[in-house]
């Protein structure tokens, strides 16, 4: 009976996917993509992946939709009909799909506890986490401690993306307060934005520090923190948002996050352990693990916040500079 919700969600995902291919109005396609991402976040919850669901909802349904809307405002919002009939792409897609389905015939059944993927490293992580790290959320312990090196690389990828958008779009500061709806129209939105802005930031800090005990962690917290500032920028204009959190500070913050992360690694080397070995950071190995995880999650949160805001500032300042 619990397959019913899987079937319904997957069916809705298929309908949304087909609608995205067929529709020509790009605004509708952006909204459908946000719906697709939210449906897959619900599917992740139904498949017991709560951390992943939180991240997908925050990043896919939140930030990606804002970026797509900003791009549509900067370019065009209608798609022209394709010039040639799509026969060759259809053949390629069908052949690839058939090959993939043939490949899955060998796979173990969905949910099979004897599948090979559940037998090698994963039981070790589940078994050793309470003793060695003392953190209930196994996903956080694997992400931050057992596979901390991969997460360092991922934070660097985010920093590179921020640097890339900075190089491509830059940040124009002229005419930031030029036009837009007046004070009277925005009064409800401004009051609600002011009311919820501190609550959103507080919730982001909660997600950051509670990531050891429930779903959460640095990436989700960074995105939620940035969303608070994006709400403020939407309600009060980019000029006021620049006064609240200037672009200079964002560039410094993005680098400081990665510096904290790598700094924890070097500190553990200076204290006698290996790179990113948190055991040596305190007298008790478990306390050392807790301290290490907290510091690197903080570094990750700072970098993700700064990079998301740099990307947002880049897109919106170009909108203002073009005076559409």
Site for other proteins in 43-82 (CB under 8 A): 43-44, 47-52, 55-56, 59-60, 63-64, 67-68, 70-72, 74-76, 79-80, 82
Closest to other proteins by CB, 173 or 190: 190
Q: 92: exposed, middle or buried (C-beta count within 10 Å: 0-12, 13-18, 19+)?
A: exposed
Give 278-283 contacts, CB < 8 A, sequence gap 24+: 278/145, 278/148
* Cβ at position 199, least distance to other proteins in Å: 8
Letters for 228-247 (x = contact with other proteins by CB under 8 A, - = none) are --------------------
Helix (H, G, I), strand (E, B) or coil at 78: strand
Q: 80: exposed, middle or buried (C-beta count within 10 Å: 0-12, 13-18, 19+)?
A: exposed
Q: Residues for the chain: how many in total?
A: 324
Tokens representing 27 are 């605004």
Tell me which of 5, 31, 42, 125 binds other proteins, using CB under 8 A: 125
* Cβ at position 270, least distance to other proteins in Å: 28
Which are the contacts of 24, defined by CB distance < 8 A and separation ≥ 6?
A: 78, 79, 81
* Cβ at position 243, least distance to other proteins in Å: 22
Closest to other proteins by CB, 179 or 271: 179
Residue 80 is classified by DSSP as P
* Cβ at position 222, least distance to other proteins in Å: 9
Check: CB of residue 204 under 8 Å from CB of residue 221. Answer: yes
Compute how many residues bind other proteins; rule: CB under 8 A. 109
Q: CA nearest 279: which of 101, 83, 133?
A: 133
User: Which residue is listed with tokens 């003793």?
Assistant: 131
Helix (H, G, I), strand (E, B) or coil at 295: helix
Helix (H, G, I), strand (E, B) or coil at 180: coil
Q: CA nearest 312: which of 73, 36, 77, 27?
A: 73
Binding segment toward other proteins, per CB under 8 A, in 139-147, 248-256, 264-272, 278-286: 139-147
Phi and psi for 78 in degrees, rounded to 5?
-145, 145
Task: Map the footprint of other proteins across residues 153-182, applying CB under 8 A.
Answer: 154, 157-158, 160-161, 164-165, 168-169, 181
Task: Map the footprint of other proteins across residues 75-114, applying CB under 8 A.
Answer: 75-76, 79-80, 82-83, 86, 89-90, 92-94, 96-97, 100-101, 104-105, 107-113
* Cβ at position 302, least distance to other proteins in Å: 14
* Cβ at position 249, least distance to other proteins in Å: 20
Check binding of 130 to other proteins (CB under 8 A). Answer: yes
Check: CB of residue 109 under 8 Å from CB of residue 118. Answer: no
Rounded CA separation 23/219 (Å): 32
* Cβ at position 34, least distance to other proteins in Å: 11
Binding segment toward other proteins, per CB under 8 A, in 15-23, 243-251, 279-287, 290-298: 15-23
Closest to other proteins by CB, 281 or 304: 304
Task: Map the footprint of other proteins across residues 203-222, applying CB under 8 A.
Answer: 213-215, 217, 219
Closest to other proteins by CB, 136 or 198: 136
């Amino acid at each position: 009976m619990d397959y019913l919700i899987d079937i319904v969600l997957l069916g809705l995902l298929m309908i949304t996917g087909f609608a995205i291919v067929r529709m020509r109005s790009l605004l509708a396609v952006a909204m459908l993509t946000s719906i697709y991402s939210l449906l897959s976040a619900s599917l992740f919850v139904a498949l017991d992946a709560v951390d992943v669901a939180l991240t997908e909802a925050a990043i896919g349904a939140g930030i990606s939709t804002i970026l797509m809307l900003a791009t549509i405002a900067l370019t065009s919002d209608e798609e022209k009909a394709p010039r040639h009939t799509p026969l060759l792409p259809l053949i390629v897609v069908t052949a690839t799909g058939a090959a993939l389905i043939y490949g899955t015939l060998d796979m173990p059944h969905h949910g099979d506890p004897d599948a090979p993927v559940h037998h090698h490293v994963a039981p070790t992580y589940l078994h050793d986490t309470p003793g060695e790290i003392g953190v209930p959320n196994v996903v956080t312990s694997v992400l931050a401690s057992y596979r901390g090196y991969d997460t360092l690389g991922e934070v660097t990828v985010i920093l590179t993306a921020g640097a890339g958008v900075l190089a491509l779009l830059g940040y124009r500061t002229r005419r930031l307060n030029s036009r837009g709806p007046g004070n009277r129209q925005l009064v409800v939105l401004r009051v609600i934005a002011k009311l919820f802005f501190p609550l959103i930031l507080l919730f982001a800090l909660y997600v950051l520090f509670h990531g050891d005990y429930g779903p959460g962690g640095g990436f989700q917290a960074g995105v939620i923190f940035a969303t608070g500032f994006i709400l403020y920028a939407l309600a009060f204009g980019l000029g006021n948002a620049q006064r609240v959190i200037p672009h200079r500070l964002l560039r410094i913050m993005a680098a400081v996050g990665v510096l904290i992360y790598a700094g924890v690694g070097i500190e553990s080397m200076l204290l006698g352990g290996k790179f990113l070995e948190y055991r040596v950071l305190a007298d008790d190995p478990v306390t050392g693990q807790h301290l290490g995880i907290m510091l690197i999650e903080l570094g990750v949160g700072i970098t993700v916040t700064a990079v998301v805001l740099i990307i947002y500032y880049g897109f919106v300042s170009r909108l203002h500079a073009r005076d559409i």
